[in-house]
Amino acid sequence: MSLKVNIDGKLFDKEDAKISVFDHGLLYGDGVFEGIRSYAGKAFKLQEHINRLWESAKAICLDIPISKAEMAQAIEETLKVNGIEEGYVRVIVTRGCGTLGLDPNRCSNPRVIVITDYISLYPDELYENGLEIITVAAQRNHPAALSPRIKSLNYLNNILAKIEGLKAGCIEALMLNHKGEVAECTGDNIFLVKAGKLLTPPNDAGILEGITRQVVIELAEEAKIEVREIPLTRHDVYVSDECFLTGTAAEVIPVVRVDSRKIGDGIPGQITRELIEKFHKLTRS
């Protein structure tokens, strides 16, 4: 059975799900999106994702043509019709069709697209043994040029960093901000463990405010692990006891080598494993 895609409230077979080539989401990356995980057929942290989508849209003066409740219903119904239990949801809102020019006022109604599918971002063995990443030259977008808090359809900054990492043999890459501080990876937030404390870059380091990142912070605080959101450098990464990444698709994944340097003992650490276990318990029980 072909998966169904929801476009403006109508379901289409995956092969027939189309938008116009004049849509400004395609022409200029003018639009916003969210990636959401589903567990047992339910979208995880759905309201938080929808709120972030609305904030991204507001930041680019894009009016989403349906209500938050209608969006939630569209997501739930698309998951249900496709029979997806453990999966991934991609919600996209484009500016809509317009002319060959940047003016958003020349666009017609925004398009709302809901895609549900299965996803496996990293192989299982990497969750057990840990990931190796590399710091790339491609910097995170300057927040004064384009706020990283906007989850826009233009992901070239991340893609260029991803290409650089892949060419170096790493499937994830660490990006620095314009100050040379640690920001985030191409698709994930980063955490360090040092002397029993959990460290992660603050929002003003040029990061996306990750939903999974916030969940992990809350899980750590519940476990009485001190969490500090502070500026970090590559030195902090190299001398850390543990390192892991968080993201909607990635969930929580250990990092054991950065720039060919062993992190801690070179194996996933105790606090990392504890937080992975707590995250699994939260999402799968």
Measure the CA–CA gap between 129 and 83, rounded to whole angstroms: 32
Q: Which residue has the higher pLDDT, 1 or 257?
A: 257
Please count the structural domains in the chain: 2
Please, which residues have CB within 8 angstroms of residue 180's CB and are 6 or more apart in sequence? 233
Q: Do 199 and 109 reside in the same domain of the chain?
A: no
Q: What is the mean pLDDT of residues 73-78?
A: 98
For 104, the domain range is 4-117
Q: Do 217 and 137 reside in the same domain of the chain?
A: yes
Q: How confident is the model at residue 120 (pLDDT cuts 50, 70, 90)?
A: confident
Predicted confidence (pLDDT) at residue 119 exceeds the cutoff of 90: no
Q: Do 79 and 13 reside in the same domain of the chain?
A: yes
Measure the CA–CA gap between 130 and 215, rounded to whole angstroms: 21
User: Which of 82, 117, 152 is the last residue before a domain boundary?
Assistant: 117
Q: What is the CATH number of the domain that holds 90?
A: 3.30.470.10
pTM value is 0.95
Q: Do 84 and 155 reside in the same domain of the chain?
A: no
pLDDT at 47: 98
Q: Do 280 and 160 reside in the same domain of the chain?
A: yes
Q: Do 68 and 192 reside in the same domain of the chain?
A: no
Could you confirm whether 162 is annotated as catalytic?
no
The residue assigned the tokens 């890459």 is 173
Give the long-range contacts of residues 64-72, CB within 8 A, separation 24 or more.
64/93, 64/110, 64/112, 65/109, 65/110, 65/112, 66/9, 66/112, 71/112, 72/43, 72/46, 72/47
Q: What is the mean pLDDT of residues 63-90?
A: 97
Predicted confidence (pLDDT) at residue 1 exceeds the cutoff of 90: no
Q: Do 111 and 134 reside in the same domain of the chain?
A: no
pLDDT at 129: 97
Measure the CA–CA gap between 107 and 9, rounded to whole angstroms: 20
Q: Do 140 and 52 reside in the same domain of the chain?
A: no
Question: Looking at 4, 42, 151, 194, which residue is catalytic?
Answer: 151
pLDDT at 285: 73
pLDDT at 257: 98
Q: What is the mean pLDDT of residues 53-62?
A: 98
Q: Do 62 and 161 reside in the same domain of the chain?
A: no
Element housing 27 (H / E): helix 24-28
Which of the 8 DSSP states describes residue 83?
T
pLDDT at 60: 97
* Total residues found in the chain within this entry: 285
Q: Do 273 and 133 reside in the same domain of the chain?
A: yes
Q: What is the mean pLDDT of residues 128-133?
A: 97
* Residue 234 · residue 135 · CB < 8 Å: yes
User: Which of 71, 102, 117 is the last residue before a domain boundary?
Assistant: 117
pLDDT one-digit tens code per residue, 226-262: 999 999 999 999 999 999 999 999 999 999 999 999 9
